[in-house]
Amino acid sequence: MMPSHRQNWFEGWRLFAVLTLVLVALSAGVAGMRGFEVDGVRMVIRFTARTSLLFFCLAFSAAALAKLWPNAWTRWQRRNRRYLGVTFAASHGIHAAAIACFALMDPVGYAAATNAASYIFGGIGYAFIIAMAATSFDRTAAAIGPRAFRILHLTGGYYLLFQFTVSFGKRIPDMPPYAMFLIPLLAVFALRMIAMTSARTPRTVRAS
Ligand code: HEM
């Protein structure tokens, strides 16, 4: 008998549950390494910024990769892009919880690490994440309709791509290795552009 995708721990909502549990456990472990003090909380903020980058890139590149290189992995990625996207939202939920702990535990350090721009741009980012996660269920997606869904998820996706680029990019002058975080972001953007172009100019097959 063929195994059903729904019974598989690496597919669908089960995949989301497994990944989220792993993220929560790892975040607790990271904070615990510094005795759950403010340093540990700041490490969780940085850790979840990076796990969010991973799941965001997996979700936002899925359709383009499956189109350009259809194979078992890219088909899995495209089939599960919704769950990878919601895992990104969960990862950013932990980012938000750690930010709140940072603000409570060390208000002075928190004020020094943030500014009006982080609230405005970060706030818009969270508004998109919440709206995108809320419309990632069959019922809510159907309620807003395919056109609104597409506009929301496309605009939100590109906004978040921009936000990641700025958040990692602004740290490059102080920490040059941060440039490596821009590589997956640029790759996702390039893949999407290439996939879009290849849709407009489909290869013609000659009969001769
Ligand atoms: C109001 C919303 C947000 C606030 C107040 C906020 C706050 C912070 C703070 C305080 C840090 C630095 C932690 C430290 O150095 O100890 C940080 C890091 C970061 N945040 Fe957020 N954040 C917000 C939303 C977002 C969003 C929406 C994204 C991306 C989509 C994001 C991506 C990042 C990244 C990439 C880093 C750098 C992590 C690193 O150093 O490796 N943040 N955030």
Would you state the pLDDT for residue 199?
61
pLDDT tens figures, 163-198: 999 999 999 999 999 999 999 999 999 999 999 998
Q: Which atom of ligand 1 is nearest to the CA of 43?
A: 16
Q: Residue 30 pLDDT > 80, yes or no?
A: yes
Alpha-carbon separation of residue 101 from 87, 108, 138 (angstroms): 21, 13, 33
* Collapsed DSSP state (helix, strand, coil) of residue 58: helix
**Pocket flag, ligand 1, residue 82 (CB < 6 Å):** no
CB 198 within 8 A of CB 68: yes
Structural contact between residues 178 and 168, judged by C-beta atoms closer than 8 angstroms? yes
Ligand 1 site-directed mutation target among 167, 174, 185, most atoms within 8 Å of CB: 167
- Residue 152 in this model has a pLDDT that exceeds 50: yes
User: What separation in Å is there between the alpha carbon of 104 and the centre of ligand 1?
Assistant: 16
The structure tokens 């009006």 sit at 116
Q: Tell me the per-residue pLDDT of 53-63, one tens digit each, with 9 for 90 and over.
A: 999 999 999 99
Put simply, whether the predicted model's pTM sits higher than 0.95 gets the answer no
Per-residue CA distances from 62 to 67, 70, 154 (Å) = 9, 10, 13
CB 91 within 8 A of CB 52: yes
Report which protein residue has its CA nearest ligand 1's atom 26: 122
Look-up of token digits 């405005």:
120
